[in-house]
């Protein structure tokens, strides 16, 4: 380590194309499809595959904007960095930073709650006490923080194992669905049925389902926060991110088809373990405790990746002088942003304690749709800021369509639940208070609040 690195240690570049692909796939294939498939079925009915498909298309449009920006500015902080460079408004940058961080924390917190539920199923525990399940979730998030602190290499290796486990679980669901349907079981006619209340259009049901299903497609944006820990990010990001999105999009649609063909939408929407019902219906002899274990590790992966992203985001924006410099401190030995890890873990504790699983999932999607709208606009604004190296460039029409689609899905016109806005509102209010405190503290420090 050089003298400069000794005084100001940097992040460690250990992620190659294979690890990055597993990171993207592992982050997307997580809590969303394992825990919220039934909730989407409640919104749209048997055509549960359609919201997942629409969410994939919207995510793909936004991914093109992210690819242009991460290859143009291959640094940690992602959407917050791009907002900072495009608009130079400290308040907007701060709020985007806080929204992305909160989306990661709400996602990790929902994963922790799902982990606790599946932990009880896997070990056949009769835990009716909400406090006991919350204690398991809190203990799990502490374990995630310790793995995150130990090092990015260890975290990414854990992600490889957990990604393989969660992918196996979804392939089991698809395989059981194909086997059962091939044997004459199941009902494919449900795939075209819509659960539309009287006086409500099918389109509104689909957009309401998409607004929730989008939680299952987010995750690709977490990878751009790992840019400073990726080898040659300009070259490998485009191919890896698009490949990962297409893989996960296909798997989600196939899982949704298998689920609704074997289990009625009404039954699928009851409880927090919908895919366990699918396995039980399609293969009654399959040991459910094994699948509960698989689900438990799958949602664990979501928590690990989102907590990694949140801590790296704080590190990146502290280096950009948008957040207090203390949040950018890196442990000399472990080379991990330890202050950011502690800070995000404390907030996750509060979310686990006070919010339920459905609200956390919907809030995650809402916050990220707002951020994606800003990113799609930022990529157009930053076309006037050329860089010396070659980078990926998205066709101009794509970020325009992406911005409109994301803004619509984030709006009340999409049929989004009011609880999503309440939880998001509380979090953003906390963000505004923190911004005011940060601004006041840094007001007389030269160069802290700058236009980049």
Least confident stretch, 87-96, 123-132, 179-188: 123-132
The predicted pLDDT at position 3 comes to 45
Token pair listed for 227: 């840019």
Q: Mean pLDDT over residues 249-253, rounded?
A: 92
Average pLDDT of the chain, as a whole number: 83
pLDDT at residue 238 is higher than 60:
yes
Of 125 and 189, more confident: 189
Helices of type H across 151-232: 152-182, 202-217
Count of C-beta atoms within a 10 Å radius of residue 384? 7
The predicted pLDDT at position 448 comes to 44
Assessment of whether the complete model's pTM goes beyond 0.85: no
Q: Which residues of 347-373 are buried (b: 16+ CB within 10 A; e: fewer)?
A: bbbebbeebebbbbbbbbbbbbbbbbb
Helices of type H across 274-396: 274-282, 288-319, 338-354, 357-381
Model confidence at 2, in pLDDT bands (50, 70, 90)? very low
The predicted pLDDT at position 9 comes to 62
pLDDT at residue 379 is higher than 90:
yes
Q: Mean pLDDT over residues 99-113, rounded?
A: 83
* Distance between CA atoms of residues 72 and 443, nearest Å: 30
* Distance between CA atoms of residues 33 and 30, nearest Å: 6
First to last CA, the chain: 29
* Distance between CA atoms of residues 50 and 38, nearest Å: 14
Least confident stretch, 30-39, 225-234, 269-278, 442-451: 442-451
Q: Mean pLDDT over residues 84-105, rounded?
A: 87
pLDDT at residue 178 is higher than 90:
yes
Query: Which residues partner with 230 through β-bridges?
Result: 15
Model confidence at 416, in pLDDT bands (50, 70, 90)? confident
The predicted pLDDT at position 25 comes to 84
Q: Mean pLDDT over residues 337-343, rounded?
A: 90
Of 289 and 450, more confident: 289
The predicted pLDDT at position 364 comes to 80
The predicted pLDDT at position 18 comes to 84
Domains, in order of start, for the chain: 15-442 (1.20.1740.10)
* Distance between CA atoms of residues 403 and 420, nearest Å: 20
Least confident stretch, 138-147, 285-294, 314-323, 353-362: 353-362
Q: Mean pLDDT over residues 58-69, rounded?
A: 93
Least confident stretch, 116-120, 150-154, 334-338: 150-154
């Amino acid at each position: 380590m050089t003298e400069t690195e000794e005084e100001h240690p940097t992040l460690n570049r250990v992620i190659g194309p294979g690890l990055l692909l597993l990171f993207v796939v592992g982050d997307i294939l997580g809590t969303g499809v394992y825990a919220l498939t039934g909730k989407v079925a409640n919104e749209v009915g048997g055509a549960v595959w359609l919201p997942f498909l629409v969410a994939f298309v919207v995510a793909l449009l936004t991914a093109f904007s992210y690819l242009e920006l991460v290859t143009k500015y291959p640094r940690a902080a992602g959407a917050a960095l791009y907002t900072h460079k495009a608009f130079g408004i400290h308040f907007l940058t701060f709020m985007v930073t806080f929204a992305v961080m909160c989306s990661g924390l709400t996602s990790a917190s929902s994963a922790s709650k799902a982990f606790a539920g599946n932990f009880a199923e896997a070990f056949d525990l009769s835990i009716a006490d909400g406090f006991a399940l919350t204690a398991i979730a809190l203990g799990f998030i502490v374990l995630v923080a310790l793995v995150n602190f130990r090092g990015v290499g260890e975290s990414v290796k854990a992600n490889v194992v957990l990604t393989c486990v969660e992918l196996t679980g979804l392939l089991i669901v698809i395989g059981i669905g194909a086997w059962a349907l091939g044997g004459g079981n199941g009902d494919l006619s449900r795939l075209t049925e819509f659960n539309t209340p009287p006086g409500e259009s099918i389109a509104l049901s689909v957009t309401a389902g998409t607004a929730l299903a989008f939680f299952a497609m987010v995750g690709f944006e977490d990878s751009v926060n790992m840019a400073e820990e990726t080898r040659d990010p300009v070259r490998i990001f485009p191919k890896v991110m698009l490949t990962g999105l297409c893989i996960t999009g296909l798997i989600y649609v196939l899982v949704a088809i298998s689920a609704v063909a074997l289990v009625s939408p009404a039954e699928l929407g009851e409880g927090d373990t919908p895919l366990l019902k699918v396995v039980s219906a399609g293969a009654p002899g399959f040991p459910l405790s094994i699948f509960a274990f698989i689900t438990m590790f799958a949602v664990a992966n979501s928590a690990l990746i989102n907590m990694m992203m949140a801590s790296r985001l704080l590190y990146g924006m502290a280096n950009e002088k948008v957040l207090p410099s203390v949040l950018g401190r890196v442990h000399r030995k472990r080379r991990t942003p330890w202050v950011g890890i502690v800070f995000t873990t404390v907030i996750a504790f509060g979310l686990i304690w006070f919010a339920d699983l459905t609200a956390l999932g919907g809030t995650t999607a809402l916050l990220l749709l707002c951020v994606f709208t800003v990113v799609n606009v930022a990529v157009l604004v930053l076309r006037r800021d050329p860089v010396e190296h070659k980078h990926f460039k998205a066709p101009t029409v794509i970020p325009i369509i992406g911005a409109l689609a994301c803004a619509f899905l984030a709006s009340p016109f999409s049929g989004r639940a009011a609880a999503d806005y309440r939880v998001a509102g509380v979090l953003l209010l906390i963000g505004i208070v923190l911004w005011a405190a940060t601004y006041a503290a840094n007001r007389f420090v030269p160069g802290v609040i700058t236009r980049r």
